[in-house]
Amino acid sequence: MSAGGDFGNPLRKFKLVFLGEQSVGKTSLITRFMYDSFDNTYQATIGIDFLSKTMYLEDRTVRLQLWDTAGQERFRSLIPSYIRDSTVAVVVYDITNVNSFQQTTKWIDDVRTERGSDVIIMLVGNKTDLADKLFRRVAAALPGMESTQDRSREDMIDIKLEKPQEQPVNEGGCSC
């Protein structure tokens, strides 16, 4: 035992506050993290919800306090008090909803107003499983597509191209 009374495994607490517009999936992210489950039915958070999870990381025990905030405007006045003593602000948006992304600046500004730079801000794009829906919305917005029937848009193919992986160079200098 060290002279300072440290018992080798102090419990560290971290408060994470989840912020974002209504129905972006804040509760679903927390539920997946806490219970490794997903519920397809939508139920709006009323006010604020709180969950705690103790984890063991390397030689430390940490307790994560997860604060799930309501995205509705009527609960907005409650949120600054929950941001005030947070360690991390998780700002969530729905990748299929442009407005929810545009509103992230407001949420980040709220965090900066309450905490300055003494907080970690994570910006999380949620609902990536609905990327196909996003593609259809983008396709519908292209010039000339507004008159295309919804059924025809469903027949479109979404092709995602990524930069190819670098090939290792052979000892002879040839990458063939």
The 10s digit of each residue's pLDDT in 112-158 is: 999 998 999 999 988 887 766 655 555 555 555 555 555 444 544 44
**CATH classification of the domain holding 17:** 3.40.50.300
Does residue 129 contact residue 106 with C-beta atoms inside 8 Å? Answer: no
- pLDDT of 52 reads 92
Q: How far is CA 14 from the centre of its chain?
A: 17
User: Kindly report the CA angle at 90 between 74 and 161, in degrees rounded to 5?
Assistant: 115
Q: Is 111 a member of any domain?
A: yes
Q: Is 33 a member of any domain?
A: yes
Q: Is 164 a member of any domain?
A: no
- pLDDT of 46 reads 65
| Parent domain of 112 | 12-129
The 10s digit of each residue's pLDDT in 15-71 is: 999 999 988 989 989 888 888 876 777 676 665 678 899 999 888 899 999 999 876
Total domains in the chain come to 1
Q: Is 123 a member of any domain?
A: yes
Q: Is 155 a member of any domain?
A: no
Q: Is 5 a member of any domain?
A: no
- Residue 21, Cβ density class (10 Å: 0-12 exposed, 13-18 middle, ≥19 buried): buried
Tokens of 14: 């971290």
Question: Rounded to whole angstroms, how far apart are CA atoms 48 and 30?
Answer: 13
- Residue 74, Cβ density class (10 Å: 0-12 exposed, 13-18 middle, ≥19 buried): exposed
